[in-house]
Structure 1
Amino acid sequence: MTPTWLLRGDAAPEPGTEPDQETQRTDAPAEKGPPNGRLRRAALAATAAALVLGGCGFFYAAHQVRSQAPAQNHALTDTEATTRVAGEVGDALARIFSYTPDGTAAAERSATTVLDGRAARQYETLFARVRDDLAEQRVTLSTRAVRTGVIELDGDRARLLVFLDQTSHRGEDKAKGKATTAAAQLTVTARLDDDRWRIVDIKAR
């Protein structure tokens, strides 16, 4: 058992409703110059203007973020701290959600060192329900953090978005057993405690 945490299309004309082409050729006023060319140039000009205005808005917003947010959000300014919290949280999630049929105890021991608060209670409740089933069905689960982004970093607290890949096997022989792969996306809150980042909340997105 794997934990769950990671156009303009115009309608075709109806038969019999096609316009009389001879009437079109006779009644349509003569055009001076190719209208399609004029329309195309007008559309291109409008698109270019929209791109310029949109670009100005984007750069203004980026300037606002650089000017206002860094005082509170060190994820934008402190590269070393951001890299550290992302690495520790990603490694922690991989450890506590990876186990063999005989190795759930190791995952649970890891959880006691990297989880706290609500996250610790969530994990304990999960394993209380599935521990026996994992051993009986001989489930092996491998988890890795494929991408970890720090959304906010303020002193000793951080909020992250983590993408996980999980691969599970049932039975003794992993080489012959059918693997099941799943992805998970989590929002994680972590707290710096005794110079170690501990996960205090986990929410599936």
Structure 2
Amino acid sequence: MTPTWLLRRGAAPEPGTEDEQAPDADAPDADAEPEPAAEASAEKGPPNGRLRRAALAGTAAVLVLGGCGFFYAAHQLRSEAPARNRALTDTEATTRVAGDVGDALARIFSYTPDGTAAAERSANSVLDGRAARQYETLFARVRDDLTEQRVTLSTRAVRTGVIELDGDRARLLVFLDQTSHRGEDKGNGKGQAKADAETTTAAAQLTVTARLDGDRWRIVDIKAR
């Protein structure tokens, strides 16, 4: 049985304009009608130019509006998130919830073969909601095995980080160190090898949700990562 056993079960180039030429003495009279080809060419130029200018203006407007929206959203995230998440601003409250949760986890996941009742009593005082139901169901399944196999588990929280603290709710990431002993201890208590005892050490990582109940934090959800 491993120590974590109890915890687990995303254009074409524009045509250039022709150079204007000076009028020549032999040029036809100004009142003469232009040739059909020249007239057609003169009529095609201006509409294309207007369409291109309109398209460029529209693209520029979209980019400007999109940029304004992006910077507004970024400003909202920077200004609103810290106000909601006290884990970033309230050191005292953050330290308190981290301490309460770390201590609670150490108590409910530490027991001896003849002392599981103490762990269960601790669970009644520090767990609530889904976490309490999970723990009760789990212990009901393994209680007899823990006694028969003489399992002793020692747990300590080595690092507790508060991810979010908003009002009376908190979410934390907790790293645990666990040491378990299984079997009879036939050592003399003075450093002699323990012949029939099996010792295992492991680390566990949990995501914990806690709720402030009066003056103490109670764990309402535990998920092994």
- Tell me the TM-score normalised to structure 2 length: 0.63
Relative to structure 2, which stretch is displaced further, 132-141 or 163-172? 163-172
- 1:95 is aligned, of 107, 128, 144, to 107
The answer for unaligned runs of 5 or more in structure 2 is 9-74, 188-192
Query: 1:202 maps to what in 2?
Result: 222
1:172 is paired with a residue whose SS is: coil
- 1:131 is aligned, of 143, 161, 174, to 143
Query: 2:116 maps to what in 1?
Result: 104
Summarize the Cα distance change of 1:170–1:83 in structure 2 as closer, same or farther, 3 Å threshold. same
Query: 2:87 maps to what in 1?
Result: 75
Tell me, yes or no, if structure 1 residue 171 matches structure 2 residue 191.
no
Shift of residue 150, structure 1, vs aligned partner: 0.1
Tell me, yes or no, if structure 1 residue 158 matches structure 2 residue 170.
yes
The answer for unaligned runs of 5 or more in structure 1 is 6-62
Map Cα deviations across residues 83-124 of structure 1 (whole Å, 9 max, x no partner).
Answer: 000000000000000000000000000000000000000000
CA distance in 2, matches of 1:183, 1:82: 23
Summarize the Cα distance change of 1:104–1:70 in structure 2 as closer, same or farther, 3 Å threshold. same
Contact kept in structure 1, 2:183 and 2:198, CA below 8 Å: no
Identity of aligned residues (%): 89
CA distance in 2, matches of 1:167, 1:144: 9
CA distance in 2, matches of 1:102, 1:81: 37
CA distance in 2, matches of 1:93, 1:68: 32
Map Cα deviations across residues 103-153 of structure 1 (whole Å, 9 max, x no partner).
Answer: 000000000000000000000010000000000000000001111000000
Query: 2:212 maps to what in 1?
Result: 192
Q: How many residues align?
A: 149
2:198 is paired with a residue whose SS is: coil
Shift of residue 65, structure 1, vs aligned partner: 6.6
Higher relative contact order (CA closer than 8 Å, sequence separation 6+): 1
- Tell me the TM-score normalised to structure 1 length: 0.69
Radius of gyration: which is bigger? 2
CA distance in 2, matches of 1:144, 1:76: 25
Correspondence 1:50-89 to 2 at 5 A: 67-89=79-101
Summarize the Cα distance change of 1:112–1:182 in structure 2 as closer, same or farther, 3 Å threshold. same
Map Cα deviations across residues 41-76 of structure 1 (whole Å, 9 max, x no partner).
Answer: xxxxxxxxxxxxxxxxxxxxxx98763322100000
Give 1:105's aligned amino acid.
Answer: A
CA distance in 2, matches of 1:147, 1:76: 17
Tell me, yes or no, if structure 1 residue 3 matches structure 2 residue 6.
yes
